Amino acid sequence: MFTTVVTTQKLFGMFELDSANSIIYSRLEREVRGDEVPANDLRGYRLFEDASHFSNADELRRRVNYFRAEGGQADSFDFTCHYDDGDVPVRVLLARVGERSGDGSTKSILLHIRRRR
Amino acid sequence: MGNNLTDRNEQVRRLVDKSFYGSPLPPGDGHRAFPAKLWHAPEAVEAGALKGLLANRVLHALPGEDFEGLLPSLEPVTLSVRDNLGDASEARHVYFPEDAVFSHLVVFEDGSTVETAMTGREGVVGLGSVCGHHAPTHWPRVTLPGAALRMRADLFRQEFAGREALRRLLLEEMGRHAAQVSQRAACINRHRIESRLCAWLLMLHDRASSDDLPLTQEFIARRIGARRAGVSEVFRTLQERRLVGHSRGFVRVVDRPGLEAAACECYEVLRQN
């Protein structure tokens, strides 16, 4: 599938994702440097296909999908994003949003990615 | 059977805690080491007594000198199914289960899973750290909560390189693990869900410290790679035949010989493995 990544900015911040991992809400923590292209609004984009440009985004998507399928309320783990200019260790927090939809189930999740020191 | 193992776990914890008494926590990720004075006076940590109480067969099979060498790096932990052990590439520890049981999962892109192997007190979890091969789709996860001893992966690699007896035991464990994976790959292709589920419950029961297993049908379905509806149907049948009991969040093994008769041939192969 052909995709264009909408930003070269490294992804740190808070994202609310729908069941297809499209971004409903984003609050980026800016660490824009050099020739990185900052993202303004990522709403509507698919996080892992359109907005992530680290090479192992598939692994993170697998983690997010596993969390969604497993049914826990929250989870956190260390992850290393493989960017072209080097590895970036991050801490990932996942939480279910306690909002009820028409059928009584929660549909979206919060994903917080922060740099690990 | 169950109570003895629980008592033994408590004794192990008390012995190890006693040895830890007064030792500071070093910086890092919570790993605790024995004080240096105990390293130089192994009799003070009652290593022989501790080894005799351990349920983990790999640790139990180590020669006394090698076990005493590992002891300062071992940390007793209690694990729950919610503990995130990371995928193989992020694994920081190697685990020696006591009555905790681990599943080795393959996680697909959509987040669904299939268990390819199970490890309890007969083995070790995290051997990928010495192989140097990390498959990001293979995750260890806790299936039955309980006790384990863990060791930092970097220390474990050093011990693996330096201890012949440990190396031999772990290579045997890797062989058993590979045999289990291949048998279960064949099983999932050939056998029906009812006989597979019976075999899986028996494997878990072999490693558990109780007849009551804290499992939901949804959880079981995700472990054995089946639909929830299919698992529910099988449980209805097994309950009617009085092989298992099922209440909210628990499965009770009621008639073990009956389960053995209903399990596929793979269970016996895996039991002897």
Asked if pLDDT for residue B3 goes beyond 60, the answer is no
Q: DSSP string spanning A72-100?
A: -SEEEEEEEEEETTEEEEEEEEEEE----
Nearest to B86 among A56, A66, A77 (CB): A77
CA contacts within 13 A on the Cβ side of B145:
11
- Cβ–Cβ contacts within 10 Å for residue B34, how many? 19
Which pLDDT score is estimated for B36?
A: 37
Calculate mean pLDDT across residues B35-40: 38
Are A31 and A10 a contacting pair, CB within 8 Å? yes
Q: What is the pLDDT of residue A94?
A: 94
| pLDDT tens by residue, B45-63 | 567 767 777 889 999 899 9
Rounded to an integer, the average pLDDT of B151-164 is: 91
Interface contact B107-A76, CB threshold 8 A = no
Q: Does B137 touch chain A (CB under 8 A)?
A: yes
Of B115, B78, B18, residue with least CA distance to B209: B78
B143 contacts chain A (CB < 8 A)? no
The average pLDDT across B210-234 equals 92
Q: Does B168 touch chain A (CB under 8 A)?
A: no
> What's the distance, CA A10 to chain centroid?
11
Whether B154 contacts chain A with CB within 8 A: no
What's residue B88's pLDDT? 53
Question: Measured between CB atoms, does A100 come within 8 Å of chain B?
Answer: no
Q: How far is B269 from B273, CA to CA, in rounded Å?
A: 6
- CB-CB contact of B213 with A61 (8 Å): no
B234 versus B24: the higher-pLDDT residue is B234
Q: How far apart are CA A42 and CA B3, in angstroms?
A: 55
Residue B100 is classified by DSSP as -
pTM: 0.79
Decide if pLDDT at B31 tops 70. no
Q: Is B113 in a helix, a strand, or coil?
A: strand
Contact between residue B74 and residue B151 where contact means Cβ atoms under 8 Å apart? yes
What CATH number is given for A13-115 in this structure? Answer: 3.30.450.20
Question: What distances in angstroms separate CA B238 from CA B58, B242, B266, one per listed residue?
Answer: 34, 6, 19
**Residues 6 or more apart whose Cβ sits within 8 Å of residue B24:** none
Query: Is B26's pLDDT higher than 90?
Result: no
Q: H helices within B106-227, ranges in order?
A: 128-131, 153-162, 164-190, 193-207, 217-224
- Cα–Cα dist A87/B233, whole Å: 47
Condensed to tens digits (0 to 9), the pLDDT of residues B81-120 reads 888 776 655 678 899 999 899 999 998 888 889 999 999 9
Number of H helices, E strands in chain A: 1, 5
- Give every CB contact of residue B31 below 8 A, 6+ residues apart in sequence: B73, B75, B152
Query: What pLDDT sits at residue B15?
Result: 58
Question: Please, what are the domains in chain B?
Answer: 2-183 (2.60.120.10), 192-272 (1.10.10.10)
A68 at B interface, C-beta within 8 A: yes
Number of H helices, E strands in chain B: 13, 9
Which ipTM score applies to this complex?
0.72
Which amino acid is residue B93, in one-letter code? H
Where do we find the tokens 């899986």?
B200
Size of the A and B interface in Cβ pairs below 8 Å? 42
Interface test with B, best of A55, A58, A66 (most B CBs within 10 A): A66
CA distance B127 to B124: 7
Q: Supply the pLDDT for residue B25.
A: 34
In the predicted structure, residue A38 carries a pLDDT above the cut 80 = no
- Chain A residues whose beta carbon lies within 8 Å of the beta carbon of residue B136: 56, 59, 62
What mean pLDDT is predicted for residues A1-15? Answer: 72
User: Is residue B185 scored above 90 in pLDDT?
Assistant: yes
Instruction: Please check the confidence at residue B19 and state whether its pLDDT lies above 80.
Output: no
Distance CA B143, CA B206 (A): 13
| Environment class of A32 (CB within 10 Å of its CB; exposed 0-12, middle 13-18, buried 19+) | middle
The domains of chain A are located at 13-115
Q: Which among B110, B139, B222 is the nearest to A65, CB-wise? A: B110
- The answer, yes or no, to whether residue A28 has pLDDT greater than 80, is yes
Q: How close B258 comes to chain A (CA, Å)?
A: 31
**Is A38 at the interface with chain B, CB within 8 A?**
no
